Amino acid sequence: MKTLLKLTVLGLVLGLSTTAHASEFYKGKTVTYIVATSPGGGYDTYARLIGRYLEKHLGARVLIKNIPGAGHIVGANTLAASKPDGLTIGTFNTGLIYAQILKREGVQFDLREFAWIGKAAADPRTLVLGTESGLRTYDDLAALAKPVKFATSGVGSASYTDTQLLRSALDLNIEVVPGFNGNEGELAMMRGEIAGQVGSTSSLKSFVDNGYGTFALALGGDGSVPEANSKVKTEKGRAIISLVEAMALLGRLTAAPAGTPTDRVAELRAAYQAALTDADLLADAKKLDIPIEPAYGDTVAKLVGDALNQSPETVAIIAGAVNAEARDITVKTPLEAVDDGGKVIRFKSGDAEIEAKVSGSRTAITIDGTQADRKLLKPGMICEITYDPQSDKNEPKTMACKG
């Protein structure tokens, strides 16, 4: 953290700190600010706050455009394909670094090529246990004989990846359930449907402060909560925890497409820095109880490049933790379509649209608690589906539906 702060100060000394002003190019124009999540939640909150002050310091209207999907990949792909004229920027999370390292299907960008504007905060991760779960401490969780459910965003998101990595590092007996966006995970914990989740400390703080959960474990915090590195028992686990803590330095990233003219990138960086150091923004952030710990331009580009530069051994650890242990996914979702007499269904897993082939013999189906044939499946039914995302057909193993 001290290194990051020194680099940030160096950026100030090199002249990025001059107050931005409305330029002739940006005056009266509209800048689209892509947010790679649905409305609500931490990234949307940060973008809308920063967008208001970018308008002030850039002299342009800032339009927030939410483009969720595939763990921020859809939003990042949209940014990468945007015209590099300085009128489109985007914000997304560090799950994209994992996605690029693992060469995930659907990635159509190279993070090294983006024109980096800055990042708004460090983003320490925390494991939270819902009050309704009956679990109070990490030791309670570690002692469980039967698995409990943990909510995450879509497959491939930072939330999903961090949870899978933490599960592997600490050998936790948890079942990862993707598909919870915005504050849906917190609501599920309040209803007792989900035991806990792993997320940024800042986004979960109000949930805990209101008595709905407890911070049980921290990855890069202030010492007030037990640290994950004090619980890990293997070298593999220590490597994983170190990587997640390093990623926590890169919170709330913002970039422009590759090829954006250097003079416009410089103006965007200056306006972004002016916004993030604006006394009124800092006061608003305090009211919202969200931390501001920014870095800018080339400093962020270097941090992203360093995070991508992982050894084959570390890549293997990430792949083993995320892919090998993620074969079975359970998601509770409406059936969006049922075709061919129930042989083919479509549903959402997180932001991803899934088409699955239902087996007449292998898929165990119940409707309202009674064993049922796939022919009885109907669009709109709410189903808890367990399937293997690595299989070609996404064949469900079980479907528990309500008619």
CATH number, domain of 49, equals 3.40.190.150
In the structure encoding, which two tokens stand for residue 91, read together? 């914000």
More confident residue, 95 or 117: 117
Q: Looking at the domain assignment, is residue 113 inside a domain? A: yes
- For the entire predicted model, the pTM comes to 0.63
Interval 361-369 mean pLDDT: 92
Tell me: do 110 and 201 sit in the same domain: no
Provide, rounded to the nearest whole percent, the portion of the chain with pLDDT above 90: 55
For the sheet containing 295-296, what is the strand order?
A: 61-66, 30-35, 88-92, 251-256, 115-121, 295-296
For the chain, the average pLDDT equals 86
- 240 neighbors 161 (Cβ within 8 angstroms): no
pLDDT of residue 324: 45
Tell me: do 6 and 116 sit in the same domain: yes
Q: Looking at the domain assignment, is residue 322 inside a domain? A: no
pLDDT tens-digit readout, 181-215: 778 889 999 999 999 999 888 788 889 999 999 99
pLDDT of residue 245: 82
State how far the Cα of 151 lies from the Cα of 199, in Å rounded to an integer. Answer: 10
CATH, residue 363? 2.40.50.140
Q: Which of 199, 224, 241 is the last residue of a domain?
A: 241
Interval 86-93 mean pLDDT: 95
Tell me: do 157 and 91 sit in the same domain: no
Q: Looking at the domain assignment, is residue 323 inside a domain? A: no
Residue corresponding to tokens 């921290």: 218
Tell me: do 234 and 262 sit in the same domain: no
CATH, residue 165? 3.40.190.10
HEC secondary structure over 260-285? CCHHHHHHHHHHHHHHHCCHHHHHHH
CA quadruple 273, 279, 281, 287: dihedral sign: positive
State how far the Cα of 213 lies from the Cα of 194, in Å rounded to an integer. Answer: 11
pLDDT tens-digit readout, 1-23: 444 444 444 444 333 433 444 56
Tell me: do 87 and 173 sit in the same domain: no
Residue corresponding to tokens 């925390």: 126
How many domains does the chain fold into?
Answer: 3
Residue 142 pLDDT exceeds 80: yes
Antiparallel, parallel or unpaired: β 396-402 and 364-367: parallel
Tell me: do 183 and 268 sit in the same domain: no
Q: Looking at the domain assignment, is residue 206 inside a domain? A: yes
Tell me: do 364 and 291 sit in the same domain: no
Tell me: do 12 and 94 sit in the same domain: yes
In the structure encoding, which two tokens stand for residue 32, read together? 């689209």
Between the CA of residue 87 and those of 23, 92, 242, 373, 384, what are the distances in Å? Answer: 13, 17, 37, 53, 42
Between the CA of residue 71 and those of 42, 150, 212, what are the distances in Å? Answer: 14, 17, 26
Q: Which of 208, 241, 274 is the last residue of a domain?
A: 241
Interval 83-104 mean pLDDT: 91
Burial 275-287 (b: 16+ CB within 10 A, else e): bbbbeebeeebee
Tell me: do 141 and 235 sit in the same domain: yes
pLDDT tens-digit readout, 249-261: 788 899 999 999 9
Domain, as residue range, for 272: 2-123+249-317
Antiparallel, parallel or unpaired: β 148-151 and 196-200: parallel
Tell me: do 229 and 364 sit in the same domain: no
Q: Looking at the domain assignment, is residue 280 inside a domain? A: yes
Tell me: do 88 and 140 sit in the same domain: no
pLDDT of residue 98: 84
Q: How far is CA 235 from the centre of its chain?
A: 26
Tell me: do 235 and 91 sit in the same domain: no
State how far the Cα of 93 lies from the Cα of 284, in Å rounded to an integer. Answer: 22
pLDDT tens-digit readout, 274-303: 999 999 999 999 999 888 999 999 999 998
Q: Which of 262, 282, 317 is the last residue of a domain?
A: 317
